[in-house]
Amino acid sequence: MNLSLLMDPVYLILGSAFVSVLALVLWLISVFTDRSESDLEARLTAFTGRTTTTRTEIANAILRDGLTTAQTMLGRILQRFENLPLLFRQADSPLRIEQFILLCIISSAATFILLFALQFSITGLTIGATVVFLLPWIWLLLRRRSRLKSFEKQLPDALELLSRALRAGNSLASGLNAVASEMPQPIAGEFRTVYDEQNLGLPIDQALRNMLLRIPNMDLQFFVTAVSIQRQAGGDLAEILGKISSLVRERFKILGQVKALTGEGRMSGVVLMALPIALFGAVYMLNRSYVMMLFEEELGRKMIYAAIAAQFVGGYVIHRIVNIKV
């Protein structure tokens, strides 16, 4: 291999960026992975009352101290954003907020270095680093949306189970425990939190309202309101929960019918949104010089900006038309 090629600054920067990213990945794995002691080490530790410290453990401790310091600084900054903890709680994120932000920053910086090594323009560097920084947030929002939808689908079954438990003579707390034990996630975890909070002395009304703050759901609000009214004025809570469960199931049925009726409109919207992009790609492949006029001329660039804005406006209008609330 030609040594002059290896000494090229671009390849040196590219190699340094690759090594840095690889080292970063290995470091994150070593820091965030819980490595439990083996049975033999645990027995020796319990028997002798002391532990042995290796070089690897010392290095990991230093790395953890550095990471903890960075997380503390980020935590002080992120205290201004009060809704972030709720977002991470609703998404059931495996990472804490500080760890997540650090991951976004490091990934964005690594992408910036890599694109710089590949001699991208300033615009390309900015767009690439921004996209990589935003991708974890998009994943977090999609994870939150999926979890809330799963909770919404599981709620009728949970209310039905709770109603049957009350009819069998169990208390409301026992019914909550039954839901937490027999239902799948994520609704089991939320009801487990409510059950644990009321076991620790918090009034069950307040525990249910706390769950409503974590899970913004209209059907759940009906359930919490029904429990609060029943505890104040009395009444057959089992019958009320059964009716709420039936109401939610009927709403899901109507929602399915609405989606079936608006399916053609939603598909038309997807086609209309994708058609300009497909035509642009086809013309670019057939006659590149004809398309490049849009980028080289000032009027062409203004037309591109206007087309992008029109795409967003059209997509929003179509979404509002076909998105019927039930």
Domain 147-250, classified CATH 1.20.120, yes or no: no
Alpha-carbon span 184 to 236, nearest angstrom: 27
pLDDT tens track for 26-67: 455 444 444 333 444 444 444 444 444 455 554 455 445 545
pLDDT value for 211: 92
* Helices assigned H by DSSP within the chain: 3-6, 9-32, 39-48, 55-78, 84-91, 97-117, 122-167, 172-182, 187-199, 204-214, 218-233, 237-261, 263-286, 288-296, 298-322
pLDDT value for 37: 38
pLDDT value for 138: 92
Residue with tokens 């029109």: 310
Long-range contacts of residues 32-35, Cβ cutoff 8 Å, at least 24 apart: 32/95, 32/99
pLDDT value for 294: 80
CA of residue 124 relative to chain centroid, distance: 27
The tokens describing 194, both together, are 């409510």
pTM above 0.75, yes or no: no
Q: Residue 138: which region, alpha, beta or left (left: phi > 0; alpha: psi -120 to 50)?
A: alpha
Positive or negative, the CA dihedral 191, 193, 198, 204 is: negative
Q: What is the DSSP letter of 37?
A: P
Alpha-carbon span 149 to 143, nearest angstrom: 10
Q: Residue count of the chain, please give it.
A: 326
Of 305, 321, 324, 318, the closest CA to residue 270 belongs to 318
Of 113, 74, 115, 111, the closest CA to residue 95 belongs to 74
Residues of the chain with CATH 1.20.81: 147-250
Query: Which phi and psi angles does 177 have, rounded to 5°?
Result: -65, -35
User: Residue 257 corresponds to which amino acid?
Assistant: Q
Alpha-carbon span 60 to 65, nearest angstrom: 9
**Spans in the chain with pLDDT lower than 70:** 1-82, 324-326
Tell me the CA distances in angstroms from 16 to 9, 107, 122, 185, one per residue in order. Answer: 10, 15, 20, 43
pLDDT value for 2: 44
